[in-house]
Amino acid sequence: MRDSGTMHNPYKHHFQAAPIPAGNESAIDSELNILRDVFRLLPAGVTVQDERGEFLLANEAAMALLRMTAAASSSSQADDRRETCLELLRSGRAAVLEEAVTSDETKQVFLTSHRPVRIADRNFLLSSSADITEQKAFEDQLFRSAYYDELTGLATRRVIEHRVNSLLQHDNGQGHFALAFLDVDNFKHINDYYGHAIGDALLVEMAKRLGLDLRESDILSRISGDEFMLLLNPIQNESEVAEFIDFILQRMKAPFFIDDSEIFASTSIGVSLYPEHGRSYEVLRQNADIAMYRVKNSGRGAAVFFDSSMEREAQARTKVEQSLRLAILEKRFCCAFQPKVDIRTREVKGIEALVRLKDDEGVIQAPGTFINLAVELGLIDELTHLVLAEIVKSIDLINETFGHDTTISINVAAKQAGNPEFMRPFAQALEATGFPKRFMVEVTEDAFVTKTHFQDEILPIFRKLGVGISIDDFGIGYSSLSALADITADEIKIDRSFITDIHKRPRSQGILRAIESLSEALGMTVIAEGIETYEELAYLQAATRIRYAQGFYFSKPIFLEDLKPATPLASEARASLTSRPAQENRPAYSRSGGYRR
């Protein structure tokens, strides 16, 4: 483009009017003056160029744009713009072009419409330009929100889906690529413990590590909260992908340093290959997801390639999911009750309500087949209320079987314990039973030591009602004795992994003594879970001050329905436990079957 100083002054040229009758000159001049002022003050830039590209007319808005363009553009850009205008004049072709002008760190975008015309046997180019800077900024914002993640800056699910579909559409039978589904392990615990701000910062840092060493043809996207998807394209073979995925896993094992916190995190990865594991985006994504869940269920922090057996497992899981939803809808749950026994007197101190599911054939299913799935699907809240309703319905039978003074323990998942929207109504439901002081709410230790609402907001509500608090499965979660010192609970249940063969394991004996001493100092009753042999019981009686235990050695979970035809009195039930010979009449059971939730 020419320098603005060489442009003709648009006001040097006057409009030519046809001959007019005498006496009307002043009216015509007035109208022309109005027309000139309108042209000059138009908000859109308007220009007229001749066949050589010279500007014959330009209003104020156009002059400002031309000066800005001349000052901001390089000579080659100006020449390109001039050549474009001349080409439009020669071809007689109209065009609408978008022009970006950057000046003093300010970027403005204009939409210019060019139209060749012929007037009085001469060719002209009429052009008008509108400032669309704000509109483009808004469009860019919409584009980024639709295609890029706001937190990490990574592409969204839509981008990677579009890219895969494009690869599939243009594949000539020779293409090979991999789709990896990545999920951060235990991210909810990290978020709860450190807070959401650090959780977000961790996702940003993880995105940076995951994106290292990627090629321009690869794409990493964040598809949900703590889930990522990676497209590796092209690939030669499975071993090449396995090697790169292994590099990712090793890289993720290094600690993250965020706000003076040292955070360790791992990632579970499932991988599907095209064309071996699917010929559509949806199938490949689903199979990578299935493979990732195989990792989750078998240890986490690893990577697995999809195979057909996983699909059968996923179908079986879906069947269980549907059965679970139907069972909750139809209330096909029942409770078994397992006593907590004084190991010195064999008196029943309390009972724990253990939920069981009756499947479509009426077979009783242990909770290991559905509890985790109920938590994952958000069905655990309704299931817990069903257990409470079953307890209330059976309270007379419970009293006759176990006694009027026994406590009744009910399990609450850690996810529920940290959720006030569940725990407050649950506390109200306990109060509505009329005997809230008999209840003991069992929660796992992570409900206390993570930054949830349980310790500060929920616990006082239960204290006011007289509901007891028990720490369940202690020793397999955070297992922090310093954290235990800050917990206000009534009871601590030592996980059976510490109790199994305790008489043969000196290290477990030392840990047990430490937990016992600290719990005693803090005024918490200790319950040993999973007593299954006489030797385990004998060790606890001889070498510890633990008074209470629970396990198959004393009793399997009892279904009250089985006792209805001849329900023993509480004293008889306790007597039957007390009269049990130490070793000879120990109940038969299968350890693999498990004994509790």
What pLDDT, in 10s, does the model give residues 124-181?
999 998 888 888 878 777 777 778 898 999 999 999 999 999 999 988 878 899 999 9
pLDDT at 564 over 70: no
pLDDT class of 574 with cuts at 50, 70, 90: very low
pLDDT class of 376 with cuts at 50, 70, 90: confident
Collapse the DSSP code of 256 into the 3-class scheme (helix H, G, I; strand E, B; otherwise coil) and give the result.
strand
pLDDT of 176: 94
Look up residue 567 and give its DSSP letter: P
Helices 308-330 and 380-393: angle between axes, nearest 10 degrees: 40
pLDDT of 361: 66
Please give the residue that has the higher pLDDT: either 332 or 503: 503
pLDDT class of 14 with cuts at 50, 70, 90: very low
pLDDT at 471 over 70: yes
Please state the φ and ψ torsions of residue 247, each to the nearest 5 degrees. Answer: -60, -40
The percentage of residues in the chain with a pLDDT greater than 70, rounded to a whole number, is 84
| CATH pick for 329-562 out of 3.20.20.450, 3.90.280.10, 3.40.640.10, 3.40.50.880 | 3.20.20.450
Collapse the DSSP code of 385 into the 3-class scheme (helix H, G, I; strand E, B; otherwise coil) and give the result.
helix
pLDDT class of 484 with cuts at 50, 70, 90: low
Give residue limits of the domains in the chain.
38-137, 149-306, 329-562
Nearest Cα neighbor of 163 from 214, 224, 210, 219 is 219
State pTM to two decimals: 0.54
pLDDT of 571: 38
* Per-position DSSP letters for 86-143, written without gaps between them: HHHHHHT--EEEEEEEEETTEEEEEEEEEEEEEETTEEEEEEEEEE-HHHHHHHHHHH
- Please state the rounded mean pLDDT for residues 425-430: 94
Please give the residue that has the higher pLDDT: either 487 or 182: 182
CB atoms within 10 A of CB 269: 25
Please give the residue that has the higher pLDDT: either 534 or 4: 534
**Residues near 209 by beta carbon (within 8 Å), at least 6 away in sequence:** 248, 251, 252
pLDDT class of 285 with cuts at 50, 70, 90: very high
The percentage of residues in the chain with a pLDDT greater than 90, rounded to a whole number, is 39
pLDDT at 383 over 70: yes
pLDDT class of 314 with cuts at 50, 70, 90: confident
pLDDT of 594: 32
Collapse the DSSP code of 590 into the 3-class scheme (helix H, G, I; strand E, B; otherwise coil) and give the result.
coil
pLDDT of 190: 86
Contact by Cβ (8 Å): 137, 236: no
Please state the φ and ψ torsions of residue 596, each to the nearest 5 degrees. Answer: -160, 175
Element housing 505 (H / E): none
Helices 60-72 and 75-91: angle between axes, nearest 10 degrees: 130
pLDDT at 591 over 50: no
pLDDT of 2: 39
**Residues near 160 by beta carbon (within 8 Å), at least 6 away in sequence:** 219, 221, 223, 229, 231
Nearest Cα neighbor of 165 from 280, 257, 69 is 280
- How far apart CA 162 and CA 294 sit, in angstroms, is 27
- Please state the rounded mean pLDDT for residues 326-338: 85
Average the pLDDT over each of 291-295, 427-431, 578-582 and give the range with the smallest value: 578-582
Dihedral in degrees, nearest 10, Cα atoms 486, 490, 493, 498 = 50
- Please state the rounded mean pLDDT for residues 500-512: 88
Please give the residue that has the higher pLDDT: either 292 or 70: 292
- Please state the rounded mean pLDDT for residues 365-381: 80
Please give the residue that has the higher pLDDT: either 361 or 28: 28
pLDDT class of 372 with cuts at 50, 70, 90: confident
- Does CATH place domain 38-137 in 3.40.50.1240? no
pLDDT of 576: 41
For the chain, the residue count is: 597
- Please state the rounded mean pLDDT for residues 369-383: 83
- How far apart CA 587 and CA 576 sit, in angstroms, is 13
Query: Could you tell me the two tokens for 60?
Result: 């104020």
- How far apart CA 192 and CA 226 sit, in angstroms, is 14
CB atoms within 10 A of CB 193: 18
Query: Could you tell me the two tokens for 221?
Result: 């996207």
Contact by Cβ (8 Å): 491, 527: yes
Beta bridge partners of 474: 494
Query: Could you tell me the two tokens for 312?
Result: 């059968």
CATH number for the domain whose boundaries are 149-306: 3.30.70.270
Query: Could you tell me the two tokens for 335?
Result: 């409770």
pLDDT at 362 over 70: no
Locate all alpha helices (DSSP H) within 356-505, ordered by sequence: 371-376, 380-393, 395-402, 414-417, 420-432, 446-449, 459-465, 481-484, 496-499
The pLDDT mean for the chain works out to 82
pLDDT of 73: 56
Average the pLDDT over each of 1-15, 344-358, 500-514 and give the range with the smallest value: 1-15
- Please state the rounded mean pLDDT for residues 357-379: 75
Please give the residue that has the higher pLDDT: either 84 or 424: 424
Q: What angle do CA 226, 229, 231 make, to 5 degrees?
A: 160
